[in-house]
């Protein structure tokens, strides 16, 4: 084997190793991320899902609850409900002047889900870890 052939062989082996690592990285990392974060299939159909303002922090930690596939739930966004994490109609009280509306959601699989109770999540109504941010912790004492 000549020196040139040896260099080509080494280069080829290094390139294939890198492409294997990249393929492995993308195939495992992206699949894990996609599967771990639940999404609300009703998000596109209810404008309430896109309210810009978040409600008041009800609790600094999420609530784990069993949700049934296909059943429609109403998640409290205002943070004033006495039936957390679900809406109890408190936002309708005209004296409280609450502008938030509950977020309708459903799940694609019957299992336990972590529902946000800090009301600051970016993946309504599911907890996305925002409650760990310092400003959220400070809001609720
Ligand atoms: S409880 Fe709101 S993001 Fe976790």
How far away, in angstroms, is 129 Cα from ligand 1 center?
Answer: 5
**CA-closest residue to ligand 1 atom 4:** 127
Strands 63-67, 111-115: pairing kind: antiparallel
The confidence score (pLDDT) of residue 139 equals 73
The confidence score (pLDDT) of residue 5 equals 74
Average pLDDT on 29-34 reads 52
Q: Distances in Å between the alpha carbon of 51 and those of 6, 19, 62?
A: 62, 43, 20
Least confident segment among 5-9, 12-16, 101-105: 12-16
What atom of ligand 1 comes closest to residue 130's alpha carbon?
Answer: 3
Site to substitute for ligand 1 among 84, 115, 117, 122, most atoms within 8 A of C-beta: 117
Strands 103-105, 111-115: pairing kind: unpaired
How far away, in angstroms, is 47 Cα from ligand 1 center?
Answer: 21
pLDDT band with cut points at 50, 70 and 90 for residue 118: very high
Q: Which residues line ligand 1 (CB under 6 A)?
A: 61-62, 116-118, 120-121, 127-131
pLDDT band with cut points at 50, 70 and 90 for residue 49: confident
Mean of pLDDT over the chain? 84
Average pLDDT on 132-136 reads 86
- Summarize pLDDT for 122-132 with one digit per residue, the tens: 999 999 999 99
How far away, in angstroms, is 93 Cα from ligand 1 center?
Answer: 25
Highest-confidence range of 11-15, 27-31, 47-51, 67-71, by mean pLDDT? 67-71
How far away, in angstroms, is 133 Cα from ligand 1 center?
Answer: 9
Residue 45: is its pLDDT beyond 70? yes
Residue 69 DSSP class? B
């Amino acid at each position: 084997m000549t020196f040139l052939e040896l260099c080509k062989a080494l280069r080829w082996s290094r390139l294939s190793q890198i492409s294997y690592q990249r393929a492995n990285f993308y195939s495992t990392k992206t699949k894990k991320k996609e599967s771990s974060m639940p999404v609300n299939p009703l998000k596109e159909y209810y404008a309430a899902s896109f309210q810009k303002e978040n409600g008041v922090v009800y609790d600094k930690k999420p609530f784990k609850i069993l949700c049934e596939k296909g059943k429609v739930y109403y998640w409290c966004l205002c943070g004033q409900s006495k039936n957390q994490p679900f809406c109890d109609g408190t936002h309708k009280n005209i004296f409280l002047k609450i502008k938030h509306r509950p977020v309708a959601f459903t799940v694609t699989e019957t299992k336990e889900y972590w529902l946000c109770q800090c009301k600051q999540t970016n993946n309504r109504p599911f907890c996305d870890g925002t409650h760990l941010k310092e400003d959220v912790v400070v809001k609720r004492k």
